[in-house]
Structure 1
Amino acid sequence: MADARPTAPAAPAAAPVPPTPPVPLSALLARDDLALRQLAGPTGPDVVIHWAHTSEMADPFPYLLGGELLLTAGVQFPDAPSPDTFFDSYVARVVAAGGAALGFGLAPVHDSVPDALVTACATHGLPLLEVPPGTTFSGVARAVWQLMAQARLAELRRVTEAQRSLAAAAAHSDPVSSVLRRLAQRLGGHAVLYGPDGTGIAAAGRAPAPAATEALHKLAAVVRPAAPPGQAPTGPAPTAPARPASATDTADGVHLSAYALGSGEGFVLGVAAQRREGGDHTIASVGAVLLSLLTGEHHSGAGAARSSALVRLLLGATPEEVVPLLDTGDGTSGGTSGGTGDGTGDGTSGGERIVVHARPDRQTPDAVAAAALGTALGTPLVDLDPDGEVVRLLVPAGREPAPVPGWTLGVSAPAGPGGWPAADTQAARALARARATRVPLVRHGARPGLSELVPEAAARAHAQALLAPLAAQPALTDTLRTWLSLHGSWDRTAVALGVHRNTVRQRVARAALLLGADLDDPDVRMELWFALRHS
């Protein structure tokens, strides 16, 4: 039998990875009921098995799938001659087949593990376990399956928790950065969003060494869609009509992954981690889907119509003339889709809109966060303030805005195109009041009051005359208006205006001096408030 020794083939470049969750060999050794003992081979958390298989074949190579703990009692092992050569060839064949570890059972064939087998396992780096007489192979296999079930349950729990965490992050006022941050935490590594031109536009987690960072950048180019017409490609020329949706690599000991986002805009998610664990691909894929939704542009007829509306406004058209274009595509047509042309077909009047001013509770908003807010409020008409602090939106009058987590909103009264500038002012004032009173949303009060009894022209003339001493100092006018709206609260006025409370005191005192008015008199306050509302 010893003369028919098989020859070990060259080991494959990479052993196949079974679809089952891995079980650390250390967990099996920790089972007191098995009393296993490791005699040779590597140790540590990276040494894992995927299942157990028993074989007494002198050459088990054809019967192994990879990742097994191979159990044998050495029935076919020779006593002599040349046992050393046999064991070396036997272990080499197990390693070539992808075997993860070897378990040798004592009794009834062998009273001890052959020294030549221990030496061969140490030489080829194959973990060798001694299975005592009181432990059956079926008991070892059952323990492996139990550990696998526990690992699978832990993996499912980890993926589920990660999905919930990422979904919550996507609802944040800064969704892209929040998703990347949660993704980096869940994967224990670094997550970066590459733009269509290949540059990193947002990242979270500790960045890997420069070599791995460069490799991740190149891996992102592998999955990035071909550059759109007029834009130079940033990665290597594609060799196939379609790029892969994802790709993996390893550089400098770091596991790298790249995912093309489904938005089709050329955005790519890159992930770098020191370890690649079960469920990581699923978690990263969930992150990629969320980022696709957050970065995607909707190329449709509605988008073209909105672009046309912008061009026409820039070329001198009035808001009334472009309202039909703005209404196309969001289901709130003012004179289309069965309407009568005056808005009566959908419950609105001639393209009425609500202006919303929004400010995030914490960080400065970016374009992606503004777009996500527009999605939450059901409108594509979003404008990010040049200062980057306030987002302005035009919402169809039939959709009353609701509070959005992470944002403070000021909402105007519904208005037609000609009234949008006034509605913009209403929303700004409502936002200031919301921030001052620390509530998530404030609506402009549109119910008629005593001021409606005075003709608008007369009210404006009276306001202009009364407030003339403040005309050259708009900061005093704004401060007085906010201070009166907040019932004379210095602190809340300071919060609303973003200035120090002492500045508020100085401005109000200066306004009182210029007006020659006693601001402690409620009648004076009422008259000034009336004037300020019509100024």
Structure 2
Amino acid sequence: MNDRVPPTAPVPLSALLGHPALGLRQVAGEREVDTPVYFVHTSEMEDPVPYLLGGELLLSAGVHCPEAAGAGTYWDRYVARTVQAGAAALGFGIAPVHETVPRALVEACDRHGLPLVEVDRQTTFTAVASAVWDAMAERRHHELRSVTEAQQSLATAAARPHPVPAVLRQLSQHLGAWTVLYGPDGAELAAAGPRPPGQARTALGALAGRLRSGPSSAAGRAAGAAGEELQLTAYGLGGPAGPEDRLALGVCAPRRDGADGAIVGVAVVLLSLLTARRVVGAEAERTSALVRLMLGAEPARVAGLLARSQRQQGQSGQREQQGQQGQSGMPAEAPGKPAEPSEDGGLWTVVHGRRRGRGRDDGLLATAALAAGLGTPLVDLDGDALRALVPGEAEVRAQPGWTLGAGAPVPAADLARGGADAARALRRAVAGRVPLVRHGTRAVGVASLVDPAEAGAHGRALLAPIEGAPALLETLRVWLSLHGSWDRTAVALEVHRNTVRQRIARAEALLDVDLGDADVRMELWFALKWA
């Protein structure tokens, strides 16, 4: 298959052959493997190669080759070029040129292994294309529903008392696969689903052993017990810093469809968080910090607990003692005696965020993804609003689907100031439509200094007299953007210059302003942007 084929949901050729309204019939070519169809393309060119991406059902009525010209090697060259272009199959329309599928074409498709489908004279090529698009939309809807259901069940499993085995079981059920979590030494720490043959398990373990620390993946194949082909994939779990902490997820499945990659991605994020070095001692310190804050302790006296627990999470530690199990189902370190927090609590970066668009993701998954992306578990997600504390002076990075503002690193005693800086940076990011603004960077414009909600209300109030006249609003917008040029505005709007003059005069009267005043024009320009 051509690597230019986009990741769309393909339609099996058998689904089109079984479509009752199309009446298609395969007359030649490969029949044992169900061919995926990614596109439909109609062409009567003698050489279709320049116009194909790969994966198409190429439709032709043979106009490029009349019946009399079909002898010799014509069809063989045509089919060879079609195969070279990566087409999935060839659909040949009966009539108006050919009464039957040319015998030479049938033989050529058999030689080259290209599926050849006879399109009945009553079936239009448009109907075939429409059936393919409808089938693709249905399969895509099914994939999205599968991913949504998997996200919900995996998130529920992650909240159970023994989350790692629960997540592996849910992943196994959704994929119909054997799932396994490998330890740093390659041992199987937990597994779920039907165990594959020893050869497949060995090959999967070898793939996991070749992964580097942190997020990475490797894929391979192996034979199953009945000789079928098994898909092997190993994924490195993000977070650990050294080989002594390296964990990996292995998946052994008889098949793989479009939704599987997204489902595995969710499981990798969850398992990375569940198996990270959030040891019992670190969790206890965070709990202690919360209790002390609620009882009135100063942030500077408590922040050291949070900072140290975060360092423990990110650093590699010693190997766990044999047989010692944590609540997550993974080996856990003994908590030990927590040390007293430092006096100053170190430096902290406050992050404020606002979700872009409508949020449909599960709250646990969104929090997990943000915690992993920002590098801190100290995330407060409240609907479409986000607040987070990032210890130290680590660089805050933009997060998909979010607009962020980051304050400058401040001591724990100045967290209120850091929060105010982060809020201002977020307002600038929203106004400038950029994913991230850090406090102290150059502003994205004067408009960023105004609260977006207040600016929008002001703009709508100022323009209310012409709100019901779209033509006046658009003319005013274009006229201001072109510095009051009547001729250029007329060209841009494709109207007469006198029409522009009349509209601007009407807008000026309704708004009760003097458009000859530069201050008035500037205020209206901002109002148009805000409203």
Which band: TM-score by shorter chain? 0.5 to 0.7
Aligned partners of 1:368 and 1:165: how far apart in 2? Answer: 20
Aligned partners of 2:286 and 2:89: how far apart in 1? Answer: 67
Q: Return the letter of the residue paired with 2:90.
A: L
Aligned partners of 1:220 and 1:98: how far apart in 2? Answer: 33
Aligned partners of 1:165 and 1:154: how far apart in 2? Answer: 17
> TM-score, normalized by length of structure 1?
0.52
For structure 2, the 5+ residue unaligned runs are 224-228, 303-322, 337-531
User: Is 2:207–2:218's contact at 8 Å kept on the other side of the alignment?
Assistant: yes
State the shift of 1:121 in Å. 1.3
* 1:158-173 map, 5 Å: 158-173=146-161
User: Is 1:173–1:365's contact at 8 Å kept on the other side of the alignment?
Assistant: no
RMSD (CA atoms): 3.6
Q: Return the letter of the residue paired with 2:328.
A: A
User: Is 2:215–2:238's contact at 8 Å kept on the other side of the alignment?
Assistant: no
Secondary structure in 2 aligned to 1:219? helix
Change in Cα spacing, 1:210 to 1:337, as seen in structure 2 (3 Å) is same
Secondary structure in 2 aligned to 1:367? coil
2:59 — aligned with what?
A: 71
1:109 — aligned with what?
A: 97
State the shift of 1:133 in Å. 1.0
State the shift of 1:298 in Å. 3.9
**Structure 2 counterpart of 1:274, from 229, 237, 254:** 254
User: Is 1:66–1:100's contact at 8 Å kept on the other side of the alignment?
Assistant: yes
State the shift of 1:113 in Å. 0.4
State the shift of 1:15 in Å. 5.5
Aligned partners of 1:32 and 1:122: how far apart in 2? Answer: 25
Identity %: 50
**Structure 2 counterpart of 1:338, from 298, 302, 305:** 298
The 10-residue stretch of structure 1 (95-104 or 145-154) with the greater mean CA deviation from structure 2? 95-104
* 1:196-211 map, 5 Å: 196-211=184-199
Change in Cα spacing, 1:339 to 1:15, as seen in structure 2 (3 Å) is closer
State the shift of 1:46 in Å. 3.1
1:147 — aligned with what?
A: 135
Higher Cα radius of gyration: 1
**Structure 2 counterpart of 1:262, from 216, 232, 238:** 238
State the shift of 1:207 in Å. 2.5
Does residue 40 in structure 1 map to residue 28 in structure 2? yes
1:367 — aligned with what?
A: 326
* 1:467-478 map, 5 Å: none
State the shift of 1:77 in Å. 2.0
User: Is 1:15–1:98's contact at 8 Å kept on the other side of the alignment?
Assistant: no
Change in Cα spacing, 1:135 to 1:23, as seen in structure 2 (3 Å) is same
How many aligned positions are there? 308
Change in Cα spacing, 1:338 to 1:140, as seen in structure 2 (3 Å) is same
1:178 — aligned with what?
A: 166
User: Is 1:174–1:365's contact at 8 Å kept on the other side of the alignment?
Assistant: no
State the shift of 1:111 in Å. 0.6
User: Is 1:106–1:130's contact at 8 Å kept on the other side of the alignment?
Assistant: yes
State the shift of 1:18 in Å. 2.6
Q: Return the letter of the residue paired with 2:207.
A: L
State the shift of 1:193 in Å. 0.6
State the shift of 1:327 in Å. 7.6
* 1:65-144 map, 5 Å: 65-77=53-65, 79=67, 83-144=71-132
Aligned partners of 1:210 and 1:122: how far apart in 2? Answer: 39
State the shift of 1:172 in Å. 2.2
Change in Cα spacing, 1:168 to 1:109, as seen in structure 2 (3 Å) is same
Over residues 389-445 of structure 1, what are the superposed CA-to-partner deviations in whole Å (9 max), with x where a residue is unaligned?
A: xxxxxxxxxxxxxxxxxxxxxxxxxxxxxxxxxxxxxxxxxxxxxxxxxxxxxxxxx
Over residues 73-119 of structure 1, what are the superposed CA-to-partner deviations in whole Å (9 max), with x where a residue is unaligned?
A: 11112545673522222212212221111100011111110111111
State the shift of 1:337 in Å. 4.4
**Structure 1 counterpart of 2:222, from 251, 254, 273:** 251
State the shift of 1:173 in Å. 2.2
Aligned partners of 1:258 and 1:34: how far apart in 2? Answer: 42
The 10-residue stretch of structure 1 (178-187 or 147-156) with the greater mean CA deviation from structure 2? 178-187
Over residues 311-337 of structure 1, what are the superposed CA-to-partner deviations in whole Å (9 max), with x where a residue is unaligned?
A: xxxxxxxxxxxxxx8987556379994
1:350 — aligned with what?
A: none
State the shift of 1:256 in Å. 1.5
State the shift of 1:58 in Å. 1.0
Aligned partners of 1:367 and 1:67: how far apart in 2? Answer: 49
User: Is 2:70–2:104's contact at 8 Å kept on the other side of the alignment?
Assistant: no
